[in-house]
Structure 1
Amino acid sequence: MEGTSEELFALANAIAAVTGGSVAVEDLDRRVLAYSALPDQRIDELRRRGILERRVPDQAEQPAQYREVLAAPGVMRLPTLAEDELPRAAVAIRAGDLPLGTIWAIEGPDGLDPAGERAMRDGARLAALHILRRRSAQELELRAREDGLRDALHGGGRTADLRYALGLPERPRLVLVGLTPLRLPADEPPSVVRLAAAAARHWAAVHGEAAVAAVGRTVYVLLAEVGPAAARRLAEQAVAALGPSGGGLVRAAVSRPAEDLEAVPALRAEVDDVLRVISADPGCAAVAGLTDVHARVLLAKVADELARRPELRHPAVEAMLAHDREHRTEYARSVAAWLDAVGSVATAAERVGVHPNTLKYRLRRAGQLFGLDLEHPDDRLSAWLQLRLAL
């Protein structure tokens, strides 16, 4: 937990020794970073619960009290919020004008004297230095992991150096997760910057050893010593958590497992293929692996190759599509429906909305006009792939 160490616990004990009551050091999210543990300190049930849960229990008037404490220049004495609650004093932890947290002290039997106030003010200054030091160290570690993951994604760097930067054992079990916003044609492209920032915060909280790096429109997360099922659960949690903070709906792809950092570029290619499919279709599952969308990924690869090398396109299909565009005929749609129906004329005719005899005529004419051989399985497959992508 951020800012937690023996130094903060010792600081809480030192303040409690002067104030006479239990002391808690909290961050801005009201998490208890450290607490005093002196044998004779005053303590109440609310403080016990905060220590056990490592978070201050919610009370209706709390937000207003925290705002007052963070705005006050010094120590504030606050009214109790429940009958069994002991009086408290609080002071903000700041670095200049930047708020970092708060210190709360239960007052001793005689209240808070000047020595107690001074101890709280001095303690707040020391806590600020400590939290900033801890935060800087964590940020440096996160940056090293980010740089290491980016190098691994591109296949660069020495394996030993990357393992050290990522904090990995010699033969780690790795799974790569990719996150990207759902992209719809009519919408503005979602901000990947917001998603990257939200993803870094999320993974730091739920899986501190994860390495997170944004490359292009994708946020990549490298998980070590996590099985495929656990990685998928973590990805599902991330999608649910990051949608609102990331600026829109989020899609996640989960790679196959690997045991070598040199496999990371291949894992990235796999994740990119899956994200390409699921981020462009709102009907797809929010989280998927290659086995979930294998057929669609394969079709996308075929489409890429046909676009890159037009000479590979079936000449009869090209001629049929051109004829339909020019003469407003429906030979291509009829052939595609028949292929989709695995050769069932009745089913295909119903899908196209014509009589079965009309469909038979169109199939026969397609062979006569364009030289399309629907009797040959290779020609059927080639025609179906191209029509599947064209229509």
Structure 2
Amino acid sequence: MTQTGTGAPLAPLIQAVGATLLGVLAGDVAAARRVGGIAIHDPHDLAAPPERAVVLGVGVAGERQVADVVRTCLSGGACALVLRDGTDLPGAVAAEAAAGGLVLLRVAAGISWSQLSVALSTALDRETARGRRWGGPERVNKERSLSDLANALAATLHAPVTVEDLNSQVLGYSDNQNLGDAQRHETILGRVVPSKYIEKLRRAGIFERLYSHDEPVLVDLAVMPELDVPRVAIRIASGQYVIGSIWVATATPLADIDHSVLRAAAQRAGELIDSGTHDQDRRRRFVGALVGEDELEAARSAQELDVDSGCVYLVVAEPVRSAGADLSARGLDRQADVLHLQLTGVSSRAIAAAVGGRVVGVLPVEAAEPGGRRAVAAAERFAQSVPAHVVVSAPVKGSAVKGSGGVFAAWGDALKALASVNRSPATASRAAVVRVEDAYLDVLLHEVGEKLLAREPALPTPVSRLLDYDAEHHTDFAESLVVYLREFGSVHDAAQALHIHANTMRYRLRRLSDICGIDLTDHDARFKAMLELRVRNLLA
């Protein structure tokens, strides 16, 4: 049983069905042959499957049978083979498939072969028709941008999200649909809410309530007992017209959900549905120029972004690398979507974009306060969704693009503050949100330390003499000094921290005083030693 077509790339078909429902086991999806049809494996038919087909491995089980079917697909020039999740797949067979250009996919448990066949056939028809009708990016970009928006909202609410039109057709959805229930899977596969659920929602008056106001509506299990997870929905409007809705599958009580985030997502979805994505993409390109060194381009970007008056905050985020964040261009764009969603809850003119491996948000506000507090709150919500170091700049007057207090200066200060957060052992490996002014002293101390260490010839100081002695004699007197100063000059507490006797600690302090010439009874001498150790990053 085969459905033929003019051909479509494999990647959009996987995306259409849902990456959480149809995953890649082996092979290069991007380099795969264009899909020419959908075929079902028949163990009684010895003929090779049609060329460029996606073959559904119905009933294929066991390592030997898997190997035989893979080789049959390779000989026939098939594009991909779909196996049931949990099927035994020898590593050598996976490698053989990948080397021959055959992509191996797995379908999640609970998805029937007939459902998958219909979903893939529908997606193939849609992709090939799209190529003929539009042949270009506008429709594709719109759908992908709505899915990007759904992913941003899903990351914020930790729940699967769909964006639907007035006919309950799915316009976009988040990647985490594996967190949803069987009803949500059915919706994603068919790209439309099943009619039986639509009718039940209509009889319960859900659509009437949903479309009558801009507040979220709860669909609980009392209304829809067949659901495993309740739904929270909010309408999407363009002006006075309702054009769709956003649906979140979540057990979180409605009162505990941030309504401003939902409203911001609905507003953004309305903009995408109503006018496409080109204006948003255009605005994002101006963010990099706004914080760049070209004064004329920065001034033009401020005008284009409508931030050349009033007050502006920069919110600059850098993913925590140890947290396994996606640092690819696509991953950073998604993080920009999440930040944009948070910032538009403060101002509809906010924008966020990936710039140089970081995510940069531009937040225009009416006044520095409470604008600053709201910027920090939005940054904290972002950091809860995306493990990142986030810096909120000092307020900038939109017209002051250059010079002290300008956007370029604020950008430079934010980068220095980010570097300070990355250096600190307390924050290097976890999400953190700081304001530039809170990190300013650490930044200054670091700059002093750089000048101290870069001086040629180096000037000997008590601390440098102690460090040189330790390096030459393999001792650790500098550590004893650090702990002593950190414990505010308490011999008893320092000895406990080092797990030594108090008399041993007193001996070490006398010895290090003799070695480097520091008088630990002198408050000024102790302060200078502490400051130097701090700038040398020994006293963190």
Task: Using structure 2 for the length normalisation, give the TM-score.
Answer: 0.45
- 1:199-278 matches, within 5 Å, as 199-206=335-342, 207=344, 208-225=348-365, 227-241=371-385, 243=386, 249-259=387-397, 260-262=400-402, 263-278=406-421
C-alpha distance in 1, partners of 2:194/2:289? 52
Encode CA deviations 1:299-351: one digit per residue, 9 max, x unaligned: 43333333333656643322211222332333222222222233333333333
C-alpha distance in 1, partners of 2:498/2:522? 23
Change (3 A) 1:213 1:60: closer
C-alpha distance in 2, partners of 1:142/1:314? 57
Greater relative CO, 1 or 2 (CA 8 Å, sep 6+): 1
Change (3 A) 1:378 1:80: same
CA contact (8 A) 1:180 1:192 kept: no
- 1:306-321 matches, within 5 Å, as 306-309=452-455, 311=457, 314-321=460-467
Give the unaligned 5+ runs of structure 2: 1-142, 151-161, 170-179, 204-242, 245-270
C-alpha distance in 1, partners of 2:511/2:194? 89
Match of 1:67 in 2: 189
C-alpha distance in 1, partners of 2:164/2:191? 16
Change (3 A) 1:156 1:146: farther
- 1:82-161 matches, within 5 Å, as 82=199, 134-135=275-276, 138-139=277-278, 141-158=279-296, 160-161=299-300
Q: Is residue 472 of structure 2 the alignment partner of residue 356 of structure 1?
A: no
Match of 2:304 in 1: 165
C-alpha distance in 1, partners of 2:460/2:533? 10
C-alpha distance in 2, partners of 1:84/1:361? 80
Structure number with higher helix proportion: 1
SS in structure 1 opposite 2:284? Answer: helix
C-alpha distance in 2, partners of 1:231/1:256? 11
C-alpha distance in 2, partners of 1:69/1:352? 64
Match of 1:127 in 2: none
Q: Is residue 508 of structure 2 the alignment partner of residue 367 of structure 1?
A: no
Change (3 A) 1:364 1:171: same
Q: Which of 505, 529, 533 is residue 383 of structure 1 equivalent to?
A: 529
SS in structure 2 opposite 1:80? Answer: helix
Amino acid at match of 2:498: V
CA RMSD of aligned residues (A): 3.9
Match of 2:221 in 1: none
C-alpha distance in 1, partners of 2:290/2:364? 14
C-alpha distance in 2, partners of 1:288/1:341? 26
Q: CA deviation at 1:359?
A: 3.0
Match of 1:197 in 2: 333
Count of residues in correspondence between the two structures: 287
Q: CA deviation at 1:60?
A: 5.7
Task: Using structure 1 for the length normalisation, give the TM-score.
Answer: 0.60
Specify the structure having the higher radius of gyration (Cα): 1
Q: Which of 437, 440, 448 is residue 302 of structure 1 equivalent to?
A: 448
CA contact (8 A) 2:299 2:401 kept: no
Change (3 A) 1:215 1:309: farther
